[in-house]
Chains A and B, each alone.
Chain A
Amino acid sequence: MNFNFSEDQLLMKEEVKKLLDKENSVKRNRNVLEGEDKFDKELWNQLVQMGLTATTIPEEYGGIGMGFLELCVIAEELGRGIAPVPFSSSVYLATTAILNSSNEEIKKEFLPKLAAGEIIGTFAHSEKTTFPNESGINVNFKSGKISGKKVAVPDGDIANFALVTAKSDKNQIGLYLVDLSSNGVEINSLDTFDPSRSHADIVFENVEARALNNDAWSDIEKLLDQSAVLFAFEQVGGAEAAMNQAKDYAMGRYAFGRAIASFQAIKHKVADMYISLQLARSNCYYGAWALSNDAPELPTAAATARVSATKAFYECSKENIQTHGGMGATWEFDCHLFYRRARLLSSNIGSQGIWKDKLITSLEKSNSPT
């Protein structure tokens, strides 16, 4: 049995980590957070050059034909580096949605460009303040055009195109591809909690749209489950980075004549982070297995990974600030960058309450949950 990533996959993980370390991804996060740029184009180009945007795209569509497992290890490293790039929107979501689709025309047109990083896609779903269920989609699709408003779309002001959830004449919710430079698209950038990742409200007024032929709610649920595993890996990467920061700081900081790492209150705090992280990581591995095998257990596995990774990143990032004392409270230290990112990732693709509910729903559907 080998319930782990392969040597090649671990090697790839190491390569991504090296790149992000070399490029000082955390510092780049701060630059975007403090500056005018919506994302770090240089870093994005480096990721593209490394072939990361092409990971899951088959060779016939210009990709490199690897699988979701490779994407999981990449996600973990992007999380560790809190990278200020639209990778989750364009790769976990938009690319996966197009791969899931049976629309050959769209695949042929978009996948090669996504692989080459020539275009960036996103997923436009929420319409109100809450993450929508089936009845929450009111953007409509009629005779080839969509109208309505999507809110807080991740990378909505970066992406070239969006996959928009909309209701058809037949009252079915489906995914529609919209070129964001089309007439009738109005994009308003938002001030956000974590400005290292851009978000925008988008209004569509009779905008040309193409159906992805994914017109069942279950297709959208599946896309969310698939991306949840990837988001969870990103969260685990961030959580581990925050735990290590806390530990390293505590080893080097002395108070009362000794390293604060020798105070049990701090040791137990870090041990708790470790426990939460291990549980999340193990659940992520199971999620990765279910994702890469397209297993019927995916809904349960994805929700489990997502819920525990959200918890782990929150706990690690908040206690990392605490461990830093006054320094943790400063803008200058990086602790808050992780804290912000932890919060943002918890909200992207639906909050903790939503995923907990999804988890129990999927357990109710399966006969033997354990």
Chain B
Amino acid sequence: MDFNDTKEEAKFRNEVNAWLSANAEKKEHAKDIYRPAEMSEDSESGESSALKDAKAWQAKKYDSGWACLHWPKDYGGRDAAPMERVIWGQEESKFKVPGGFFEIGQGMAGPVLMLYASEEQKKRYLPPMAKGEEIWCQLFSEPGAGSDLAGIKTKAELDGDTWTINGQKVWTSGAHYSDYGIIVTRSDFSAPKHKGLTYFFLDMKSPGVEVRPIKQITGGANFNEVYFTDVKIPDSQRLGEVGDGWKVSLTTLMNERLAVGDASGVDFQEIFELAKDQDFNGDTAISNGAVREKLADWYCEQSGLKYTKMRNISALSQGSTPGPEASITKIVSANKLQDIANYGMDLMDNASIARDEETAIFQGSLLGAPLIRIAGGTDEVLKNIIAEQVLGMPQDVRVDKNVPFNEIPTGSKN
């Protein structure tokens, strides 16, 4: 029972650290995170300057062989072992470097291309994806199909070597700055729902693609509606067989679970500091027993997640692959985020109403948490996954299997 690196791991960690120290600035404390050079109140230009910085950092890593470590060298990676990738992540998080933007491409589109694209396509698309030169988005959810992804209706029709796409996607994160997208469509409406799907990748600048940002409850607009009107996709950009899109989608979703990590925002440290400073009935909040009990619960959750991650990493270090067990991370951390944010504002009392430097992070977390509980698999869907895939309990009785897709009931909200 130890946290020690093996000899090889320690050597690799040193190598990583040497490069990072030479190329980035170390954080002084956990909250000392990277901020874009050109901060702006306007979220749009704020996003574009963050994007510029992120691309620059990603390119720098790529040029020195530190991008997508676990990918083959031929595709822009380093042929690194899974554990080396983990070590890189641990060390990089100690530095003030920009992030975001590339997770969907590198975490979800990349692995799918790796499995299903032609050699030529892999050589063409994977290196710029690793370098952060080209950004990818995930065009899965639709107004009528989210959790029930196999219920999508965007239509794909083949004529010769070319598919024509018509329909609408929604909640597409980053579509407005993406160069390419992975998309699942329905190519056969009379087959049962899981059998009539076909999966592609496409150029987001194709004629007929229209991206409309959607304003979120946070006030930002990071996700979009994407409309497809007679969009042409060459058959060579199909990933997997015609009608096999469900299988390909599952590969993507499995990777999504690994790509979605802890929820960012307020955590134990923030509520702990707040409770020490905040007045409560003439004393500090932290001297109140009820407050202490709450704090203890969140500390236990935070610590439980931290050491669950350590156990998974340890398994990786010992040569085994962690499975769907990782689903608990998002459920626990997103709910904790929401509850801590709400409780923090409660402790701030009247002061929580106005937006200022101290309240902003709690307010932002309270508005951001509901998004995290939905994105990448809702709490409920993740619990189904735990029950079915980890614990082996039976699937729900389904009314939509083995029925032609066009005969499945839909409701007024679809």
Contacts and interface: CB of A to CB of B under 8 A. Distances in A.
Interface of A: 1-6, 69, 247, 250-251, 258-259, 261-262, 264, 266-268, 270-272, 274-275, 278-280, 282-283, 285-286, 288-289, 292, 303-304, 307-308, 311, 353, 355-357, 359-360, 363-364, 369-370
Interface residues of B, number: 55
B383 A271 contact: yes
A117 B267 CA distance: 47
Interface string B143-164: 0000000000000000000000
B412 to A, nearest CB: 23
B91 to A, nearest CB: 14
Contacts of A272: 383
A278 B388 contact: no
Contacts of B302: 370
Interface in B356-414: 380, 383-384, 386-388, 390-397
Contact of B325 (A278, A288, A289): A278
A356 B297 contact: yes
A73 B183 CA distance: 48
Nearest to A287: B307
Nearest first, the 4 closest Cβ-Cβ pairs linking A and B are: A279-B304, A356-B296, A267-B387, A282-B307
Contacts, number: 161
A356 B288 CA distance: 12
A268 B397 contact: no
B9 interface: yes
A292 B289 contact: no
Given A2-B4, A357-B289, 10 more contacts: A1-B5, A3-B310, A69-B1, A267-B393, A279-B305, A282-B310, A288-B1, A304-B304, A370-B267, A370-B268
Contact of B397 (A247, A262, A285): A262
Contacts of A2: 1-2, 4, 314, 317-318
B249 to A, nearest CB: 22
B286 interface: yes
A283 B300 CA distance: 8
Given A3-B311, A3-B314, A275 B332 contact: yes
B343 to A, nearest CB: 14
- Residue of A1, A247, A353 contacting most chain B CB atoms (<10 Å): A1
Contact of B292 (A4, A250, A308, A360): A360
Nearest to A272: B383
Interface in B32-90: none
Contact of B4 (A1, A259, A270): A1
B394 A251 contact: yes
Contacts of A286: 303, 307, 310
Nearest to B30: A370
B301 A279 contact: yes
A280 B314 CA distance: 17
